[in-house]
A and B are shown apart, each in its own frame.
Chain A
Amino acid sequence: MKPFMKAFFAVLMLSLGISAYAEVSVIVHPSNSNSFDQNAIKRIFLGKSRAFPSGGEAIPVAFKDGSAESNEFTSSVLSKTPKQLKAYWAKMIFTGKGTPPRAMDSSQAVLDLVAQNPSIIGFVASGSETGNVKVVGKF
């Protein structure tokens, strides 16, 4: 019975771990000492804010449209559907109020950019973070 229960819990923990894959971690350069709430991150990624709370320039980078990370970020952090986000950026672009963040192809590309540039803020699938970036939120 006991070994069975152990195995059962192990499988349970594993399955919970798998569903937790859907999370994204928002990351910044290790020297970035700002604290961020969801609203602050949302404002930067929607082009409403061009600076970090402390005043330094904030440059957001995103994942390409349609990727799992992008969809998760759009729904959990930006609280929009992909179509709403597309319409939002169309309004911003065609009224000259902003342009969408650059879309990267891979987690490694995002991690490299964030590790090199203190102005960059990005996100990766939770679990992909490496030691040379700082996690400021998980959603």
Chain B
Amino acid sequence: MKKILVIALSTFCLMFTAYGQAEITFQGFASFVGGATLDSDETYLDYINKLEYDNDSLYALQASSNLGDGLTVTGQIIARGAENYQPEFEWMYASYNLTPTLNMKIGRVRTPFYMLSEYLEVGYTYQWIRPPKEVYAASITNMDGVSFLYNMPIGNIDSQYMITIGNRQDFSDDPTATVSDYKPLIAANAQFEFGAYTTKLIYTQGDITFKSPAIDGATAALSTDTAFAKYAVIENTPVTFTGFAFIWDVSPLAVMFEYAHIGFDPLIFAADETRMLAAFTYSLNDANAVTYSWSSNEKESDSGLAAKLDSANANFATHQAVVNGSLAALDSEVTTHTLGYRHDFHDSAAAKIEFISTEDSVKDTEATLVRFGIDMLF
């Protein structure tokens, strides 16, 4: 598989370096993770009560070519166990330094939704096997467009501002989805670093379109209530992500807190979400660390929607059933505790193990997951 990735990436970079003498640098990261839930009816993060090794394992290869004068071209291919190790271009872009403090990228770039989103899959860079899904679940990890990054020191504070404008088509893994787009998608963030403190403010907005037989069925069932129809179709529906995070790193202790809110225009298919996490990492020495985190995800459907149905409509009773059923399926309140241990047994590799306990107080489900793995850089 590595051979295929190397050939694909070399070809990509050679397209740009045909005229130059620029060399291609290869770098990569990989995670090999296994896990299982502890009880036969429990599932969490796609793990079941049998040991599986695909869900979080991945292999990524990045090729970069510095063409000089501030121009570089980069491609990154990832093969994820969760997608049957099908290699795909996670990102590929040309980067140009417009000024010493302003950089522009054009192509496919990572979506900077949350604090760690841009390096979400580089396990080596953080303490968990993967950051808590309660905050870090994202239906998209990349987008196509233009991105600007501006660096500005304010006294002793390092500040960075980023804005990415583009779209993302066919994002859904759902094989029944016929259309799944974020068009347009605008992501902005500001990060401030001062000594042991790092703060990040995030704002993203986009218009989402999603169609599948299940959604189309509900849309059709409610089509005679014309005033209500707009709540039963996901077509260019505005969605916003707002969040902030901070990290306080004062060896041997590091604390991270993150909060995010996802708001949809009223829909019977999507609920507003509130996401939070708090994590504490204690480094026993340079090669060992213990981490505890609490994370929560609350989805609250728009209960006022049922009241917007036209009670005079002939199919009112059916409509009510469809709407209430759809709304009830959306609500959930998940709280998760994670206890993890990291051991850096090698310069370029870390071994980790995690015990995760999670429960959904609305859907009344719970699970305990044990996950272990190795994260590598090369």
Binding site for B on A (CB under 8 A): 39, 43, 48-51, 55, 57, 65, 81-83, 86-87, 90-91, 93-97, 99
Contacts and interface: CB of A to CB of B under 8 A. Distances in A.
Given A43-B158, A95-B110, A49 B100 contact: yes
Interface in B1-49: 25, 27, 29
A50 B101 contact: yes
B273 to A, nearest CB: 25
Nearest to B107: A96
Given A91-B118, A95-B118, 16 more contacts: A43-B158, A48-B153, A50-B97, A55-B100, A57-B100, A83-B286, A83-B344, A83-B347, A86-B347, A86-B377, A90-B124, A94-B29, A94-B62, A94-B119, A96-B109, A97-B149
Interface in B70-127: 74, 76, 91, 93, 95, 97, 100-101, 103, 105, 109-110, 118-119, 122, 124-125
A91 B158 contact: no
Contact of A87 (B27, B118, B124): B124
B189 to A, nearest CB: 12
Interface of B: 25, 27, 29, 60, 62, 64, 66, 74, 76, 91, 93, 95, 97, 100-101, 103, 105, 109-110, 118-119, 122, 124-125, 149, 151, 153, 156, 158, 286-287, 344, 347-348, 377
B215 to A, nearest CB: 34
A90 B377 contact: yes
Nearest to A93: B27
B95 A94 contact: no
A49 B122 contact: no
Nearest to B287: A83
B122 A90 contact: yes
Given A51-B100, A83-B286, A95-B118, A90 B29 contact: yes
A90 B151 contact: no
Nearest to A55: B100
Contacts of B101: 49-51
Contacts of A97: 103, 149
Contact of B95 (A83, A93, A96): A96
Nearest to B151: A48
* Of A50, A91, A95, most B-chain CB atoms within 10 Å: A95
B371 to A, nearest CB: 20
* Of B91, B93, B377, most A-chain CB atoms within 10 Å: B377
A86 B97 contact: no
A99 B105 CA distance: 15
B105 to A, nearest CB: 6
Contacts of A57: 100
Contacts of A96: 74, 91, 93, 95, 105, 109
A54 to B, nearest CB: 11
A96 B118 CA distance: 9
Contacts of B62: 93-94
Contacts of B158: 43, 48
A71 B166 CA distance: 42
Contacts of A87: 124-125
19 contacts: A49-B151, A50-B101, A65-B347, A83-B287, A83-B347, A86-B348, A90-B122, A91-B118, A93-B27, A93-B62, A94-B27, A94-B29, A94-B119, A95-B119, A96-B93, A96-B105, A96-B109, A97-B149, A99-B66
A50 B151 CA distance: 10
Contact of A90 (B66, B103, B125, B344): B125
